[in-house]
Amino acid sequence: MQNNLAIVIPAYKAEFLRQTLESIDNQTNKNFTLYIGDDASPYDLRTVIDEFINSLNIVYKRFAKNAGGKDLVKQWERCIELSENEKWIWLFSDDDLMTPDCVESFFETTEKTEADLYRFDIKMINENNIVSFISENPEFERSTDFIKSRFRLERCSSVTSFVFSRKIYETENRFNDFPLGWCSDDAAWLKFGRHKGICTIKGSYVSWRNSSLNISNNNLTKKAEKIQAQLQYLRWLYSYNFDSLDSELFKNREEFSQFSYTWLYDTTFKLNLNYFLVIKVSFLLSELYQTSPLFEFVKYCRTKPFIKGLKSINKKISGLLMKDNKI
């Protein structure tokens, strides 16, 4: 019997790899092939993988050069290229987990529905597998509504929680290659679910690990790349909305500006930008929205998150001064 599902892991880290493979090995339905692309890791991934070689149908390849450190999307796509002609592709990770019924629930759902894009609800976990929160999705959702919910910061999403058809992956030209892979998954879900929407597989969960080992950490260089990725995504989204979606996502430029401004300011503030990066953001925004850099800088500094942050910093400084005075 031919497997209809390719589970693809672009692997680099070893810390949680065994737990990930255990969760895959525990699947009640093993009608899948597991493809693992070793991104020239300095860690001994092969020894861990060999522990499961007799219980899982594994195809393993170690790449000679690292790609994910500079171009995460390239690593995703070359790992997917390891797969054969399975109908479905599930791009997973080397540190996330899946509940034992995920594959079985996926196939059961595909028998009842017709979609190109499916997803699982998410449990966010830390290094100790402690759940910090659970993100639930509607059973069915238009991809445009999903993107708007992301702009409103209402929905948690991870690339590992989605399963897509190979046909739609090829038809829609795969992933958009934004820096660090930031927003590349959201752009893909908009494209992949454009015609048939997004169907949620209820009752099964992907545990998405949020840890200090994530590739997209928050040093100064990475922050700048994340900002660049977000702005590239907005440029692409604007063009895609009016050229391909017939304004289904945003009715006009004003609505696009309203949604994107709020999202961009909220997300960049979470990066704890210094003034140098705020100025950089201002210039990039002025290019995107065809305004002046000074206007964007002033507008950014007047946003509620920025002002709230300044008040928080001021409160901490005041507390330290009061403590010093007591001493």
Distance CA 26, CA 121 (A): 19
For residue range 211-259, list pLDDT tens digits in order: 766 655 556 667 778 888 988 999 899 889 888 877 788 888 888 877 8
Report the candidate in 224, 157, 207 with the shortest Cα–Cα distance to residue 185: 157
Domain ranges of the chain: 5-209, 220-315
Give yes or no for a contact between 246 and 200, defined as CB atoms under 8 angstroms apart: no
Which of 63-72, 161-170, 185-194, 230-239 comes out lowest in average pLDDT? 230-239
Amino acid at 131: V
Entry pTM:
0.85
Residue owning tokens 């238009």: 142
CA distances from 319 to 94, 310, 312, 313, 326 (A): 42, 14, 11, 10, 11
Residue owning tokens 């597989």: 201
Which option is the CATH number for 5-209: 1.20.1250.20, 3.50.50.100, 3.40.47.10, 3.90.550.10?
3.90.550.10
Distance CA 202, CA 321 (A): 52
Say what angle helices 184-192 and 220-243 make with each other, to 10 degrees: 20
